[in-house]
Structures are given as C-alpha cells and as structure tokens.
C-alpha cells in the first residue's frame, strides 16, 4: 500500500530565510509522480511543484525546489527567500502511474512565516 508521511506537523521560518519541509513515502512501484500542494487558510489547494520519478534531476519552480531521493523514498520541499504569502498547509502527494488515478496525501505541514 502506498503511504505518504510528513513528520513535521508545524514549521516556522523567518521572512527571507530558507525552510525545508520533509516527506517520505512507501511504494513498491518504480513509475510514479510526486507533488507538493499548498493550501492557504480557507482557500483551495494549489499545485506548488511536481516531480516524475523517472527523472533524476530535481524539479525547480522559482523559489521552490525539491530534493528527490528515490532510493530513500524521500521528497523534501525547499522554499527559498520565504515570503509572508508562503504561510499555508503544505501537503506532499504521491500518484502511481499504473493505478486509476488517485493521489495519496500526507497529513500536511503547517508553515508559519515570521515577519
């Protein structure tokens, strides 16, 4: 069974600093996608970044980057130059290419940005 674990329920970062959110997952499959979604308070989930498991190069989207360690089944999110608008719940998600289509989500990390 696929499981996604986010071991940090809460994190905080000073504005303009860098923070890393952790995610590990369990799967026996080799072809899958990993995602980080952001859910601001009372607002909808927004895709932050995605990574294809077959790509060794870590994905990057502006201030957001990932450290994908396939052998370790680890997928951390680094936010550089943190901004107040980055404050939100962050969810790590896994999707196997071979199954119907569902995503498996972690329990989330609540990120606070301190001015």
Partner 1 sequence: DTGVSQDPRHKITKRGQNVTFRCDPISEHNRLYWYRQTLGQGPEFLTYFQNEAQLEKSRLLSDRFSAERPKGSFSTLEIQRTEQGDSAMYLCASSPEVGREGGDTQYFGPGTRLTVL
Query: Where do contacts with partner 1 occur on this chain (CB under 8 A)?
Result: 4, 33, 35, 37, 43-47, 50, 52, 91, 93, 95, 97, 100-108
Phi, psi of 97 (to 5 degrees): -70, -25
Closest CB to partner 1 among residues 33, 64: 33
- CB of residue 70 vs partner 1: minimum separation in angstroms? 17
Torsion on CA atoms 53, 56, 61, 65, rounded to nearest 10: 100
Closest CB to partner 1 among residues 7, 102: 102
Closest CB to partner 1 among residues 40, 81: 40
């Amino acid at each position: 069974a696929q499981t996604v674990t986010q071991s940090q329920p809460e994190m905080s970062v000073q504005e303009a600093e860098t923070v890393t959110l952790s995610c590990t997952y369990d799967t026996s499959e080799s072809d899958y996608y990993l995602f980080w979604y952001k859910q601001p308070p009372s607002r909808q989930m927004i895709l932050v970044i995605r990574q294809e498991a077959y790509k060794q190069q870590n994905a990057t989207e502006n201030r957001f980057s990932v450290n994908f360690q396939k052998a370790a089944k680890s997928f951390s999110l680094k936010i550089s130059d943190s901004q107040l608008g980055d404050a939100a719940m962050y969810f790590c998600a896994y999707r196997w290419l071979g199954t119907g289509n569902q995503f498996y989500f972690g329990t989330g990390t609540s990120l606070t940005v301190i001015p």
